[in-house]
């Protein structure tokens, strides 16, 4: 009598389901953290933009011996490339050289 032995290698359905369960749990942990980190990065980017604009407003004042009347003056003068936050929040330049988010 002769036995037929087959080499059946591969994953069972249970093994595949366990792997998918592990991947799902990892995604449930990772995705909310990525969204939170994106919000923090946007906030820090806006703060950095405000600091840059205030510094460039000071440079404009030193060079021209007068304060810039608006952020458009800084942009037209080549002091900055953009006058909005990375999330496109509008910014306002005040007479004392400070920059804040525009009131909505």
How are beta strands 91-93 and 99-101 bridged, if at all?
antiparallel
Query: Model-level pTM?
Result: 0.62
Phi, psi of 68 (to 5 degrees): -70, 140
CA distance 92 to 69: 10
Looking at residue 12, its pLDDT comes to 87
* pLDDT, tens only, 19-62: 999 999 999 988 888 777 777 887 788 889 999 999 999 998 99
Q: Percent of the chain at pLDDT above 90? A: 18
Quick one: pLDDT at residue 18? 95
Is 67:61 a contact under the CB 8 Å cutoff? yes
Domain locations in the chain as residue ranges:
28-101
Spatial distance between the Cα atoms of 6 and 96, rounded to a whole number of angstroms = 84
């Amino acid at each position: 009598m002769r036995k037929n032995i087959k080499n059946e290698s591969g994953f069972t359905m249970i093994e595949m389901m366990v792997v998918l369960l592990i991947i799902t749990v990892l995604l449930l942990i990772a995705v909310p953290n990525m969204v939170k980190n994106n919000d923090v990065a946007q906030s820090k980017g806006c703060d950095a933009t405000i600091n840059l604009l205030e510094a460039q407003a000071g440079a404009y004042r030193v060079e021209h011996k007068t304060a810039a009347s608006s952020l458009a003056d800084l942009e037209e003068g080549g002091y900055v490339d953009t006058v909005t936050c990375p999330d496109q929040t509008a910014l306002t330049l005040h007479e004392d050289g400070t920059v804040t988010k525009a009131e909505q």
